[in-house]
Amino acid sequence: MFSPKSKGKVNLRRLSAGLPREENTEARSIPVLRPLSEKRRIARKDLWCVCLIETKGGEKREGVIIDVSKTGARVRFRSRGKLPRVVRIKASRIGLRRFARVVWQSTFDAGLEFVPDHKVG
């Protein structure tokens, strides 16, 4: 197993002899499968940006924006915690300072939908 005789080049012809032959060797595109529930109207942009989530009571949590669109964002947190229905999100690097409604929340991630300031209440 560890003898010097076992060291050598790999014979690619011998290795590929047992593989089935493909008639068409052109590059094939693999279709991207999306869940049926994926019905976003606006494309999201992947991002990695530190943000601050603030509640009405003054509680602040630091998170990272994973992706963002014109209508919302997905935020990941370092620790577990439950967000209230409406929060304010601030990310100075991208100039974001908006109120948002928490649409969904898992253990460490939250989906936020931006709302106009006058609809917060």
Q: What is the pLDDT confidence band of residue 29, given thresholds at 50, 70 and 90? A: low
Q: What percent of the chain has pLDDT over 90?
A: 55
Question: 63: Cβ–Cβ under 8 A, 6 or more apart, which residues?
Answer: 50, 51, 52, 53, 75, 76, 77, 78, 110
Q: Is 77 left (phi over 0), alpha (psi -120 to 50) or beta?
A: beta
Mean per-residue pLDDT, 12-38:
51
pLDDT at 43: 76
Say how far apart CA 90 and CA 57 lie, in whole Å: 16
pLDDT digits (tens, 9 = 90+) for 64-75: 999 999 999 999
Which residue range forms the structural domain that includes residue 97?
45-112
Q: Per the domain annotation, does 118 fall within a domain? A: no
| 54 strand-pairing partners | 60, 88
pLDDT digits (tens, 9 = 90+) for 100-115: 999 999 999 999 999 9
> What's the structural domain count of the chain?
1
Mean per-residue pLDDT, 6-31:
52
pLDDT greater than 60 at residue 84: yes
pLDDT at 53: 97
Q: How many CA atoms lie within 13 A of 28 on its CB side?
A: 6
**pTM greater than 0.85:** no
Q: Per the domain annotation, does 3 fall within a domain? A: no
C-alpha 58 chain-centroid distance: 28
pLDDT at 1: 45
pLDDT digits (tens, 9 = 90+) for 39-51: 556 677 888 999 9
Q: Per the domain annotation, does 22 fall within a domain? A: no
Q: Per the domain annotation, does 19 fall within a domain? A: no
